[in-house]
């Protein structure tokens, strides 16, 4: 069985299928940009994209992504290593404080803009609701997503 993570096909051994997906991503693949927070699908720190939908990974199993396309924050930058415009906007807008929520926020913003490249601020606020920013810099996060819509 296979999955695709950040554009790379990964073979999944039978014994790994029941492993927690977040632990697989962080420990086996060493993709530690995906953060571990509450581990009960409440904080959004562990958000990844599965088939371009922003979803939490802390209560999923590896078998849940068989045959699917997964993206973590490490797969988000451009091929030349440059930051994606949405990542750059987070920096430019001052939308990063401690940074713990940032991977989940960026991926959630991307999933929204992928579907709707002209969202209202209310739509952006609603989209990022599943991700909690403990530093509470929500206005700047909304600014960053709003300012990047033109690139989608």
Q: What does the binding site for ligand FES look like in residue numbers (CB under 6 A)?
A: 36-39, 41-46, 56, 58, 96-102, 133-135, 137
- Work out how close the CB of 143 gets to ligand FES at its nearest, in angstroms, rounded to a whole number: 14
User: Which CB, 3 or 140, lies closer to ligand FES?
Assistant: 140
- Which position's Cβ is nearest ligand FES? 58
- Work out how close the CB of 80 gets to ligand FES at its nearest, in angstroms, rounded to a whole number: 27
- Work out how close the CB of 74 gets to ligand FES at its nearest, in angstroms, rounded to a whole number: 17
Q: What is the rounded CA–CA span in Å between residue 89 and residue 147? A: 7
Q: Long-range pairs for 42-45 at CB < 8 Å and ≥24 separation?
A: 42/132, 43/101, 43/131, 43/132, 44/101, 44/104, 44/108, 44/130, 44/131, 44/132, 45/100, 45/101, 45/103, 45/104, 45/131, 45/132
Q: What is the rounded CA–CA span in Å between residue 105 and residue 114? A: 14
Structure tokens at 51: 């088939």
User: Which CB, 1 or 125, lies closer to ligand FES?
Assistant: 125
User: Which CB, 1 or 68, lies closer to ligand FES?
Assistant: 68
User: Which CB, 87 or 102, lies closer to ligand FES?
Assistant: 102
- Work out how close the CB of 29 gets to ligand FES at its nearest, in angstroms, rounded to a whole number: 17
């Amino acid at each position: 069985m296979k999955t695709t993570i950040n554009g790379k096909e990964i073979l999944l051994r039978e014994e790994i299928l029941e492993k927690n997906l977040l632990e697989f991503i962080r420990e086996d693949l060493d993709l530690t940009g995906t953060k571990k927070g509450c581990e009960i699908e409440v904080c959004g720190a562990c958000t990844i994209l599965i088939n371009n939908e922003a979803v939490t990974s802390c209560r999923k199993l590896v078998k849940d992504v068989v045959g699917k396309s997964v993206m973590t924050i490490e797969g988000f930058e451009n091929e030349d290593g440059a930051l994606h415009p949405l990542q750059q906007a987070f920096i430019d807008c001052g939308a990063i404080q401690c940074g713990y929520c940032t991977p989940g926020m960026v991926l959630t913003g991307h999933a929204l803009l992928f579907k709707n490249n002209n969202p209202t601020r209310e739509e952006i606020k609603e989209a990022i609701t599943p991700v909690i920013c403990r530093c509470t810099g929500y206005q700047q996060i909304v600014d960053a997503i709003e300012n990047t819509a033109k690139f989608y």
